[in-house]
Amino acid sequence: MRGVGLGRRAVVVTHPGVGRHYLAPVMASLAAAGVEVGVLNLPAGERYKRLATVEKIWAAGLEQRLDRGGVLVALGGGVLGDMVGFAAACYYRGISFVQLPTTLLAMVDSSVGGKTGVNFQGKNLVGAFWQPRLVLADLDTLATLPARELRCGLAEVIKHGAILDLDLFERLERALVEAPTRTGLRLAACARGTLTPDLARLCVERSCQLKGAVVAADEREAGQRAWLNFGHTFGHALESVCGYRRLRHGEAVAVGMVLAARLGARRGDLAPEVETRLARLCAAVGLPVRVPGGVDPQALWAAMLKDKKTRDGTPRLTLLAGLGRAMVTDDTPAAMIENLLAEACAEGNDADR
């Protein structure tokens, strides 16, 4: 990390499992650049994405004597990166931070764009826009990633294709649905859950290009950045209702995309077969496509109304006008959404029987 201009002091924030694999080379790189480094290990998991955890990052910064020239380094996945970025945005009213994503989900989505924050009575309701000084995605770190985490990352890649790039979506279909036995890429049938280097590079490079272009045009979500929320209003509500335990973020987004496509068809904006294609692609990599059993549709609706994009009691939803074309709506009748949720929760209960 030479030449980045990181200042004299840094704190690397990571998880023990991640640090076991990758902390030593990061520390060596910083030391070679003349940076004094402290380390903070945090527990992993969405349930730790809260202000109390961010306070630990601030305390580590003070202990390491970080000043406004210091830097926080996030070595891990998206939850960690969101918290470290938020801590950096607030510490001394803003210091530099670096993203070193080690999960596919973080590489293709959360490390790009400068959205930071924590969960507070809802998903990411407290946060800040704060751009990282550097994002370094080393694809070799995916070799130690569990298959479930790879699948979660692929959910966001599928989303980018669905909202922005029909060619990407169709390339994923060809690789993961149409030719799984020839390419060996179908994660649902692959015990190791590995990605080929070419597919991993495609997913990361194209996702970063697509999201980076959207963010550059609309950093603070005044317009087209809202397209990136496709599947997320439903997904965030699912995560919250399920206590951030039953579903990982990418899994909830996969279900949310299928529900959003179904809603688009009911509104008359989208051909019904788009839901089928989305569900088939998500299922091909082992992602869920139904609401889990036991979810209360009214609790799900209440969680959606807490979403930060809600205006005057109406969710502002990102839907599809077609594959590769997103649109944002705030005119969907509440009854239509509630009926959709009731039906989806009933389907989940039936599937679990």
Q: Catalytic residue among 229, 248, 275, 316, which?
A: 229
* Average pLDDT across the chain, whole number: 92
Distance CA 268, CA 127 (A): 35
131 and 153 inside one domain = no
Of the pLDDT bands very low, low, confident and very high (cuts 50, 70, 90), residue 186 is very low
151 and 109 inside one domain = no
158 and 307 inside one domain = yes
Q: Catalytic residue among 123, 211, 248, 290, which?
A: 211
224 and 171 inside one domain = yes
The answer as to whether 29 is a domain residue is yes
The answer as to whether 150 is a domain residue is yes
Q: Classify strands 115-118 and 126-129 as parallel, antiparallel or unpaired.
A: antiparallel
Q: Which domain holds residue 245?
A: 146-352
353 part of the active site = no
Distance CA 78, CA 155 (A): 14
Greater model confidence, 106 or 176: 106
Nearest to 114 by CA among 92, 139, 133: 133
Provide the domain count of the chain: 2
Beta bridge partners of residue 117, listed in sequence order:
127
Q: Specify the pLDDT at position 7.
A: 75
43 and 165 inside one domain = no
Mean pLDDT of 19-26: 96
CATH of the domain at 157: 1.20.1090.10
Query: 171-180, 214-223, 230-239, 329-338: lowest mean pLDDT where?
Result: 171-180
Q: Is 52 exposed, middle or buried (0-12, 13-18, 19+ CB in 10 A)?
A: exposed
133 and 160 inside one domain = no
* Of 106, 121, 142, the domain-final residue: 142
The answer as to whether 251 is a domain residue is yes
The answer as to whether 3 is a domain residue is no
Those residues whose C-beta lies under 8 Å from the C-beta of residue 103, and which sit 6 or more positions away, are 76, 77, 78, 141, 142, 145, 149, 152, 153
CATH of the domain at 68: 3.40.50.1970
SS3 assignment, position 133: coil
Q: Catalytic residue among 236, 262, 309, 316, which?
A: 236
Q: Catalytic residue among 159, 249, 309, 316, which?
A: 249
227 and 274 inside one domain = yes
336 close to 342: Cβ distance less than 8 angstroms: no
Q: Specify the pLDDT at position 315.
A: 87
Query: Hey, what amino acid is at 158?
Result: I
Above 90 in pLDDT, residue 313?
Answer: no
The answer as to whether 4 is a domain residue is no
308 part of the active site = no
309 part of the active site = no
Beta bridge partners of residue 118, listed in sequence order:
126
Q: Specify the pLDDT at position 193.
A: 44
Distance CA 317, CA 328 (A): 6
236 part of the active site = yes
159 part of the active site = no
270 and 231 inside one domain = yes
C-alpha 287, offset from chain centre: 14
The answer as to whether 163 is a domain residue is yes
Q: Catalytic residue among 9, 115, 159, 316, which?
A: 115
Q: Catalytic residue among 46, 149, 221, 239, which?
A: 221
Q: Catalytic residue among 15, 159, 206, 225, which?
A: 225
211 part of the active site = yes
* Of 114, 142, 170, the domain-final residue: 142
160 part of the active site = no
268 and 239 inside one domain = yes
High-pLDDT (> 90) share of the chain, %: 83
221 part of the active site = yes
106 and 245 inside one domain = no
226-285 pLDDT tens trace: 999 999 999 999 999 999 989 999 999 999 999 999 999 999 999 999 999 999 999 999
273 close to 340: Cβ distance less than 8 angstroms: no
110 and 233 inside one domain = no
Concatenate the DSSP letters of all residues of 190-253 into one string.
Answer: -SS----HHHHHHHHHHHHHHHHHHHHH-TTSSSGGGGGGTTHHHHHHHHHHTTTTSS-HHHHH
314 and 176 inside one domain = yes
pTM, full prediction: 0.91
* Of 95, 117, 142, the domain-final residue: 142
Query: 36-40, 161-165, 348-352: lowest mean pLDDT where?
Result: 348-352
The answer as to whether 297 is a domain residue is yes
The answer as to whether 120 is a domain residue is yes
The tokens for 82 are 């969101």
